[in-house]
């Protein structure tokens, strides 16, 4: 039974520390319901109830945005996007690739024309013209 009390005490302390960190790192204008100082005092004097109250009623509201980010209070934050999921990155790759492909294609065409000219000259026996 004593182990259970120790475990619950540790959970309460961890929850209070997390709530204090969250409260102290939140922007002042985004904290809901009460001022920051009041929330800190509530969390310190009533660790379990105060922490739960902070996470339910005091923490800045987070809303999902259409761009895959979060809107916290009035500010929008974007989550990093993997390169293969970022349409702008893929477009930049396509743009660079198409110009490189075009240059390579033109080089191949020039080389093919040169080889065809050489073969025609060999067939006609005209080796004197370069």
46 and 97 part of one domain: no
Q: State how far the Cα of 7 lies from the Cα of 21, in Å rounded to an integer.
A: 21
pLDDT at 16 over 90: yes
Please indicate, yes or no, if residue 34 is contained in any of the structural domains: yes
How confident is the prediction for the chain on average, in pLDDT?
82
What size, in residues, is the chain? 130
68 and 118 part of one domain: no
Determine the structural domain holding residue 41 and report its residue range. Answer: 2-79
Q: How far is CA 43 from CA 16, 31, 37, 50, in A?
A: 6, 14, 10, 4
28 and 11 part of one domain: yes
Q: Report the number of distinct structural domains present in the chain.
A: 2
Please indicate, yes or no, if residue 129 is contained in any of the structural domains: no
pLDDT band at 68 (very low <50, low <70, confident <90, very high): low
Please indicate, yes or no, if residue 130 is contained in any of the structural domains: no
pLDDT at 13 over 80: yes
64 and 119 part of one domain: no
Q: CB 34: neighbour CB atoms within 10 A?
A: 15
37 and 92 part of one domain: no
Please indicate, yes or no, if residue 7 is contained in any of the structural domains: yes
120 and 74 part of one domain: no
Q: Tell me the pTM.
A: 0.50
Tell me what percent of the residues of the chain surpass a pLDDT of 70: 78
User: What is the reported pLDDT for 128?
Assistant: 56
Question: Cα-flanking dihedrals φ and ψ of residue 61, to 5°?
Answer: -70, 140
pLDDT at 127 over 90: no
């Amino acid at each position: 039974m004593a182990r259970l009390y120790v475990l619950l005490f540790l959970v309460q302390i961890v929850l209070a520390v997390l709530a204090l960190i969250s409260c102290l790192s939140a922007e002042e204008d985004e904290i809901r319901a009460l001022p920051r100082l009041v929330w800190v005092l509530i969390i310190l004097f009533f660790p379990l109830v105060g922490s739960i109250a902070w996470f339910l009623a005091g923490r800045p509201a987070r809303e999902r945005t259409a761009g895959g980010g979060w809107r916290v209070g009035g500010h929008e934050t974007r989550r990093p996007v993997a390169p293969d999921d970022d349409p702008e990155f893929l477009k930049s790759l396509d743009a660079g690739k198409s110009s490189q492909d075009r240059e390579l294609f033109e080089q191949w065409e020039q080389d093919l024309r040169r080889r065809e000219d050489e073969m025609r000259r060999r067939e006609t026996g005209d080796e004197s013209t370069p």
